[in-house]
Amino acid sequence: MKSAGIIVEYNPFHNGHEFHIQETRRQSQADVLIAVMSGNFLQRGEPALVSKWSRTKMALHAGVDIVIELPYAFAVQKAETFAHGAVFLLNALKCSSICFGSERGELLPFIQTHHFLHQYTEQYNDWINTYMKKGLSYPSALNNAFQKLNPTEDAVDLSKPNNILGFHYLNAANHINKQIKFMTIKRKSADYHDEYFKDSTIASATAIRKSLQQNSSLEAVKSFIPDTTWMELNNYKENFGQFHHWEDYWPYLQFRLLTMESDELHSIYEVEEGLENRLLKAARQANSFLAFMELIKTKRYTWTRLQRICTHILNNCKKVDMKNTRKDPNYIRLLGMNELGRLYLNHVKKELPLPLVSKVSAFPREMLQRDLIASSVYAHGLPEPKKSEFLNLEFKQPPIYFRSNHISNR
């Protein structure tokens, strides 16, 4: 059986994602579609709007056959590490191809850019260091360094988030398995960070989240998401009473910061020398997460990186924790599948290089510790008694199983 992979967050799943799935199936001609998806905290350093279980259901409804979790140690990371973890897991599941979205939908510029940077690696790294010393953020330093090398006109625009991720997917595969075939599709209409609705049926996940945060009405986003996504969002809100936003976690983040010494804060992953004092001072002054972020932002740190740092503080994720994390994922966490997905897993199970985790209690806790902590922290965005209900979900919830026309918890 031939399988294709996609790397997703679905925060939330929308019409553009549905197009991605359809095009991946068409271009790859694969029998099975596998999605590796971030868990409850995402690459941009924010809590997912709804849980990974709800987003898994959205994916299965849309035609994905298998959904696995990208572990926290790779999900809440810069693009390079995020891409490596995702490609590694898809390769472990025997995916022969990977399809990603990009600004132009052309693969050749990615390949040419990869070869170009490989040829000028030393100069590229020197320019990156030069721009970093000037106080630029890492993404800005990367883009400026790339432009300094005078790339050809058909090179990939590495200032665009999806292009950056796509480039790193190819780069990761070059180290993991050069035989993986890549495909890319052009993003439809909405830009990655668009905050407003500009089209009748296509909107960015950012715009959808902003709308839900401002008025929480699902009617306002109905035309931009499949009916099944609308149903899952509605079910989640009815069951848990709300969606998850950073402001829900601000009291916990502030408490963490106000009870930490400078040395302890410096031990948190991604916190660099000097930033801890800025964080501690802002925690005493701010009365909301947004106000806190406005106080700590600088030219050197992107908003996304600062959010990731806040996520690591919230989850008490330390430098030593990440140092002890293996370079590669060491398990495959199954979140959901349909009948075809189950058949595929039975077909490849004996060949998998990593253990397939379907029941958390059956595996050593330390193996999944970072993900278990993240799920516990995520639950604290909810009021009681839903918080306690959610806390137990990580241990009780089996993989979601889609049987023909309905979804079950097996």
Binding site feature residues for ATP = 7-20, 101, 162, 187
CB 99 within 8 A of CB 184: yes
Structure tokens at 400: 């979601």
CA proximity to 347, closest of 37, 31, 14, 28: 31
Q: How far apart are CA 128 and CA 383, in angstroms?
A: 45
CB 24 within 8 A of CB 99: yes
Angle of helix 289-296 versus helix 246-258 axis, rounded to 10: 60
CB 45 within 8 A of CB 307: yes
Q: How far apart are CA 125 and CA 382, in angstroms?
A: 44
Q: Which residues pair with 363 in a beta bridge?
A: none
Question: Which residue type is seen at 337?
Answer: M
DSSP annotation string for 177-190: -TT-EEEEEEPPSS
CA proximity to 337, closest of 398, 394, 392, 396: 398
CB environment 364-402: b (16+ within 10 A), e (fewer): eeeebebbbbbbebbbbbbeeeeeeebeeebeebebbbb
Residues in the chain: 410
DSSP annotation string for 371-410: HHHHHHHHHTTS-TTHHHHHHTHHHH-PPEEEETTEEE--
Q: Which residues pair with 66 in a beta bridge?
A: 34, 337
Longest dimension (CA), the chain: 58
Radius of gyration of the chain (CA): 21
Q: How many helices (H) and strands (E) does the chain have?
A: 20, 9
Q: Report DSSP state, residue 200.
A: S
Within 8 A by CB and 6+ apart from 356, the residues are 331, 332, 334, 345, 349
At residue 371, φ and ψ (nearest 5 deg) are -70, -35
Q: How far apart are CA 32 and CA 319, in angstroms?
A: 38
Within 8 A by CB and 6+ apart from 174, the residues are 114
Task: Please enumerate, by residue number, every residue annotated as part of a binding site.
Answer: 7-20, 101, 162, 187
